[in-house]
């Protein structure tokens, strides 16, 4: 197994499926099934989900809302998504632990390296909601932080595209896919893989970022087993 301990980053929008808002039960079930499959192969899994399917702080700020208040609302949206995925995983027989950047008793305890490590050692899938617990930081930054804390082998960024391209492949038919990139190359090419804070954390701590299509069944298992189906960003590839 190439990636034994992983931090899986999912966007909130991915949970919408074909809906315009909210959580699609079908997508929830599919993602839970993919995670269960990887868990049964022996992977140790942490999950961070965005909240864009419910609320984004930046969206609120653009409409005149206080940015800090909006960001906290966005954090709560990520907790809702994490709770939904937790419920589906438990329904499929997977043991879980829900932690948060914010302590919300009795729903989730505050995230810490010790709690994450203990839950992973107990064979649980660890879901971390609430971002970093601070405004102005994205869930990409939260995923970088949690991956480093839990000493993950890599961040697996599950998207609806099968890797990183020279341009948006959904808009540009001439866009070509990168097989691998160094952090420096990704920065120089101004590829929007993560926000700069998240990317800098990964670069400083040599945390590989693997971008792949999470919507294709079986892909998560392929990635952790070492099958190269996406794009890897790392200096030591």
Classify domain 5-233 by CATH number: 3.40.1160.10
> 177-178 and 164-165: which strand pairing?
antiparallel
pLDDT of 214-229, one tens digit each? 999 999 999 999 999 9
The SS3 call for residue 94 is coil
Percentage of the chain with pLDDT > 90?
90
Cα 22 from Cα 185, distance rounded (Å): 36
Q: How far is CA 68 from CA 34, 44, 60, 81, 196, in A?
A: 35, 34, 10, 20, 20
> 209-213 and 231-233: which strand pairing?
antiparallel
Cα 98 from Cα 235, distance rounded (Å): 32
> What pLDDT, on a 0 to 100 scale, did the predictor assign at position 237?
65
- pTM, to two decimals: 0.96
What is the average per-residue pLDDT within 48-66?
90
What is the average per-residue pLDDT within 128-149?
97
- In the chain, where the domains are located: 5-233
């Amino acid at each position: 197994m190439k990636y034994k301990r992983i931090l899986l980053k999912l966007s909130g929008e991915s949970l919408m499926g074909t809906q315009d808002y909210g959580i699609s039960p079908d997508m929830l079930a599919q993602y839970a099934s993919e995670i269960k499959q990887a868990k049964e192969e022996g992977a140790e899994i942490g999950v961070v989900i965005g909240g864009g399917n419910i609320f984004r702080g930046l969206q609120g700020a653009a409409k005149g809302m206080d940015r800090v208040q909006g960001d906290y609302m966005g954090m709560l949206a990520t907790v809702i998504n994490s709770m939904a995925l937790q419920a589906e995983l438990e329904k499929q027989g997977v043991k879980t632990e829900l932690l948060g950047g914010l302590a919300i008793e009795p729903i989730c305890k505050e995230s810490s390296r010790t709690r994450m490590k203990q839950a992973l050692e107990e064979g649980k899938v660890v879901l971390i909601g609430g971002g970093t617990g601070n405004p102005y930081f994205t869930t990409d930054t939260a995923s970088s932080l949690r991956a480093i804390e839990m000493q993950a082998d890599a961040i697996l960024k599950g998207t609806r595209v099968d890797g990183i391209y020279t341009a948006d492949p959904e808009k540009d038919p001439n866009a070509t896919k990168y097989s691998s990139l160094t952090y420096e190359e990704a920065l120089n090419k101004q590829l929007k893989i993560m926000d700069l804070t998240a990317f800098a954390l990964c670069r400083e701590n040599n945390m590989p970022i693997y971008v792949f299509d999470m919507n294709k069944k079986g892909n998560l298992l392929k990635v952790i087993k070492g099958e190269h189906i996406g794009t890897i960003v790392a200096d030591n590839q």
